[in-house]
Amino acid sequence: MTTWKDKIDLDRLPKHIAIIMDGNGRWAKQRGKLRTFGHSHGVKAVRETAEAAAEIGIRFLTLYAFSTENWNRPQSEVNALMKLLVKTIHRETKTLHDNDIRLLAIGDLDSLPDVTYRELNDAIKETSDHKRMSMILALSYSSRWEITQAARKIALAVNENKLDPNTIDQKLFESYLITRNFPDPELLIRTSGEYRISNYLLWQIAYSELYFTPKLWPDFRKEDLYEAIVDFQKRERRFGKTSEQVIR
Ligand code: IPE
Ligand code: IPE
Ligand code: MG
């Protein structure tokens, strides 16, 4: 039986895949359980996806785990998610070591509860020498927050005469974003059948290929990631040019 994995052209892999992990609540509801049950079951999907990506040679995987707007959910769900994060990061550090994966995080990390922040920082430090893939958790992240704080830092630098406003171009602006050390994602995946971006990496996905699947996040497995990559490899990325110009 040929698998999706067999169909991937390893010479044309995306360097960076970003995922909006959505549908945990609905997954739990379908089973008559509380939403947090779905979040717990989303952990396996994270592990599988990280392993699948590292296995074939993806260099960056950015996972939307908690948005700025998610703070507005019922306090009990927010607390459960923060607790789950601590537990998961602690337990899965071994998975990161075994797969040579470096953990990183983007977002307003100061707004996280102390224990969550500490656990996260410990795992980031412990895995900092790993080279195969970077797994970037977007936590308390939203793109408008990121872009606004970049604008503020640029304004301050101008104010302090450290930056000439005439030198502000796209490259300079990007250097003020928290994703400055990562290439833009070539592929963005969203699970759960929603067709929206929900304030995720708005600047960075300017030319990303978008892939939507009805699968709910807790059901997402290695082959689902590979299927998305095969789909991505069938696309013609034109970047504004004509088809004739980009055919090699
Ligand atoms: C995604 O699942 C996880 C987070 C946003 C933290 P949801 O919790 O959004 O699940 P649905 O979309 O309500 O099914
Ligand atoms: C986006 O999912 C955020 C994460 C996956 C962490 P949401 O479930 O919060 O997005 P909306 O509210 O459906 O747009
Ligand atoms: Mg959702």
CA of 64, nearest ligand number? 2
Q: What is the DSSP string of 1-42?
A: ---TGGG--GGG--SEEEEE---HHHHHHHTT--HHHHHHHH
* Model pLDDT for residues 10-60, shown as the tens digit of each residue: 999 999 999 999 999 999 999 999 999 999 999 999 999 999 999 999 999
Q: Is the CB of 21 under 6 A from ligand 1?
A: yes
Q: Is residue 70 part of a domain?
A: yes
Q: Is residue 75 part of a domain?
A: yes
Question: Which of the listed residues 143, 198, 217 should we mutate to test ligand 2's pocket, taking the one with most ligand atoms within 8 A of CB?
Answer: 198
Q: Is residue 196 part of a domain?
A: yes
* Model pLDDT for residues 130-139, shown as the tens digit of each residue: 999 999 999 9
Q: Is residue 5 part of a domain?
A: no
- Per-residue pLDDT, averaged over 233-242, amounts to 97
Domain count along the chain: 1
* Model pLDDT for residues 87-128, shown as the tens digit of each residue: 999 999 999 999 999 999 999 999 999 999 999 999 999 999
**Domain of residue 191, CATH code:** 3.40.1180.10
Q: Is residue 160 part of a domain?
A: no
Question: Is the pLDDT confidence value at 248 over 70?
Answer: no
Residue with CA at minimum distance from ligand 1 atom 13: 25
pLDDT at res. 95: 96
Domain housing 203: 13-142+184-233
Q: How confident is the model at residue 247 (pLDDT cuts 50, 70, 90)?
A: confident
Antiparallel, parallel or unpaired: β 187-190 and 209-212: parallel
> Whole-angstrom Cα distance, residue 92 to residue 172?
36
Q: Is residue 163 part of a domain?
A: no
